[in-house]
Amino acid sequence: MARGRAPRKQQNNGESATKVEEHITINVGGFRQRLAPDTLLRFPETRLGRLLGCHTEEAILELCDDYNLASREFYFDRHPGLFRHVLNFYRTGRLHVLEELCAFSFSQEIEYWGLPNVSVASCCSYRYLERLDELAEAACSNERSQETPQLVTKQPPQQQYRWCARQRQHIWELLENPGASLWAKAYMVVSLGVVLCSIITMCAHSMLNEKREHEELQERGGEEEDPILGLVEDLCIVWFTLELLARLLSAPNLRKFLLQPLNIIDGVSVLPFYVTLLLSGADLENLGRVVQILRLMRIFRILKLARHSTGLRSLGKTLTHSFHEVCLLMLFLSVGIFIFSVLIYSAESGEDEAGLISIPICWWWATITMTTVGYGDTHPVTASGKILATVCILCGILGVSLPITIIFNKFSKYYQEQQAMDLSNRCQPRPDTPAAVPPSPRFSHCPFEKLLPLHLANLGRAEGPYSCSDEEDSEIFQAEDSFSDCPLPGSPLL
C-alpha cells in the first residue's frame, strides 16, 4: 500500500502547520512521543530511520507492530522504560547506561532498535561491556557445570542404567554424594582415612629404607619392607581397587566416567602396584630402576584427597581455565630470566667467589631471584651485580603478582561455585524419599517443572541472538504434556 498523508489545512501560519504535521508519533508500550523526521533521519540505519523510508504496508509492518497512517502513529510492543534511553540516543547521538539497568535486556533493546554497540558513551561503555562479559562467563560456567557429573536422582534410573538400575543408583549415590545418607558420610570418612593411611605408610617405608639399605635389593629395584607396613599397603591397594571397580560398575555414563580427571587419578594410584607384581618375576635389564619409578608413582595417591576437598577441586578447575594467565606468568618469568642472566653474567664473570661462571648457571640464579626464593648458593659480590639483583627482585615481584591476582580471582569464583554445587548435591532428596506433604490431587497431573522454562522462553522472545525460536518453544512441551485440564491460580476453575 502506498504511503499516504492526510490533506494539510490552510492556515495563516501554514509553514508552522506543515512542520507540525510532518511529526510522527512513536507509541512504545503506552509511552507516546512525537518526533521530527529530521531527528530520526540522522541515523538512517536504525529501525526508526528505516521506518521513514517505507512505502508499503508490508515494509512498515516488518519494522513495527501496528500503525495508524492517518495520525502518523506507530506502535511497538517493547519496554517503555528502556525506550527512553533509545530516544535519548536520537537526540544526543550517544547511549548512556544507568547502573540499575540489566545489561542483557539493554543489549536486546539496542539490537532491536538497530543501534550500534559503539554508540555507548565512553563514561558507560566500560561498565556495560564488563557486565556483558560477566553474563557471557556465567553462561560458560553453566555449560561447564552441566558437563560435570550430576547425581542420578535427577533422572529416573531406567533412563540411565540398563541392568540393576536401582542397586547401581544407590551405589553411585553412596560413592559420589556424602550427604545422601549416614552410610555415605561414613564411607567418605573411611575413604579419607585409607588415603591418609596409604600416604603415611609410603613415608614410613622411606624411613626404613634410609636405615636399612641392601645393595642386592636396590639392584633389583626392591626395598626393605616391614611386614606390618607391607600388609597395610596391600590392604590400602585392595580398598582402592574395590572402590574403583564399584565406581566403574555403577557409573551412569562409562565414557564420561573414564575421561574424568579424578577417576584417572584413581587408576594411576593403583596401577604401579599391579605393574610391579607383573614385573617382579621377570628377569629384565635395568628392571630395578623401572620398578623404582613405578613405586614413585604412588605419590599420586595424595591427589585422591581432591575427591573430598572442595579447595583442591577448585584449584584444579582454576588451573584448567587459567591457561592464558599461566602462560602469561611463564612468559614474564622467562623474559626476565633471560635478560637478567645475561646482565649478571657480564657483571660477575670475572669473580670466582660469586659462582656465576656461565649463563646457564645465571639462569638458575635469575630464577630463584625473580621468584624471591633466594637460596644463597650463588650471589653477586660486585656493586653492579648487587644493583642488578635488586632490580631483578623488583621486576620479579611485579611480574609474578599481576597474573597471580587474576588467577586468585578465578580461584575464588570457582571455589564459591564448587561450594554451591556441593551444597545442592547434599540437599537434593533421594528419589525414593516420600514427600512430607502429599501434592494436591488437583495439581498432581500438572507438569509444573516445565512452567519455568516456558516463562524464560517467553522472556527471551525478541529478535537477536538471545531469542527463542518456535521450534525451541515446541520442544519445551511434549504432546502428552497438556495444561488443558490443569487450573492455574486465579483462573475461574478454582
Nearest Cα to 311, choosing from 204, 411, 385? 411
Q: What does the domain layout of the chain look like in residue ranges?
A: 18-130, 164-308, 323-427
Q: pLDDT tens-digit profile of 421-447? A: 767 665 555 544 444 444 444 433 444
Smallest CA-to-CA distance from 87 within 15, 154, 34 is with: 34
Q: Which residues pair with 113 in a beta bridge?
A: none
Model confidence at 387: pLDDT above 80: yes
The larger pLDDT score, comparing residue 297 to residue 451, is at 297
Cell of 411: 580461584
Lowest mean pLDDT among 80-84, 305-309, 449-453: 449-453
> Which tens digits make up the pLDDT trace of 161-177?
667 777 788 888 888 77
Reported confidence tier of residue 294, pLDDT bands at 50, 70, 90: low
On whether the pTM is more than 0.85, the answer is no
User: What is the architecture, at CATH level 2, of domain 323-427?
Assistant: Orthogonal Bundle (1.10)
Q: Are 103 and 132 in contact (CB under 8 A)?
A: yes
- Residue 76 pLDDT more than 90? yes
Architecture of domain 164-308: Up-down Bundle (1.20)
Q: Is the pLDDT of residue 75 over 90?
A: yes
Lowest mean pLDDT among 180-184, 221-225, 270-274, 342-346: 221-225
Task: Give the model confidence (pLDDT) of 232-273 as tens digits.
Answer: 888 988 998 998 898 888 888 888 888 888 888 888 888 888
- Residue that has been written with the C-alpha cell 619409578 in this structure: 293
pLDDT of 460 over the 60 cut: no
Q: Could you read off the pLDDT of 30-64 as tens digits, one per residue? A: 999 998 888 888 888 899 989 988 888 889 999 99
Cβ neighbors of 5 (< 8 A, separation 6 or more) are 21
CATH of 18-130, one of 3.90.1640.30, 2.40.50.140, 3.40.50.970, 3.30.710.10: 3.30.710.10
Provide the pLDDT confidence category of residue 290 given band limits of 50, 70 and 90. Answer: low
* The three-state (H, E, C) secondary structure of the chain, written as one string: CCCCCCCCCCCCCHHHHHHHHCCEEEEECCEEEEECHHHHCCCCCCHHHHHCCCCCHHHHHHHCCEEECCCCEEEECCCHHHHHHHHHHHHHCCECCCCCCCHHHHHHHHHHCCCCHHHECHHHHHHHHHHHHHHHHHHHHHHHHHHCCCCHHHCCHHHCCCCCHHHHHHHHHHHHCCCCCHHHHHHHHHHHHHHHHHHHHHHHHHHHHHHCCCHHHHHCCCCCCCHHHHHHHHHHHHHHHHHHHHHHHHCCCHHHHHHCHHHHHHHHHHHHHHHHHHHHCCCCCCHHHHHHHHHHHHHHHHHHHHHHCHHHHHHHHHHHCCHHHHHHHHHHHHHHHHHHHHHHHHHHCCCCCCCCCCHHHHHHHHHHHHCCCCCCCCCCCCHHHHHHHHHHHHHHHHHHHHHHHHHHHHHHHHHHHHHHHHHHHHHCCCCCCCCCCCCCCCCCCCCHHHHHHHHHHHHCCCCCCCCCCHHHHHHHCCCCCCCCCCCCCCCCCC
The cell for 47 is 529501525
Question: What digits encode the pLDDT tens for the residues 400-413?
Answer: 888 888 888 888 87
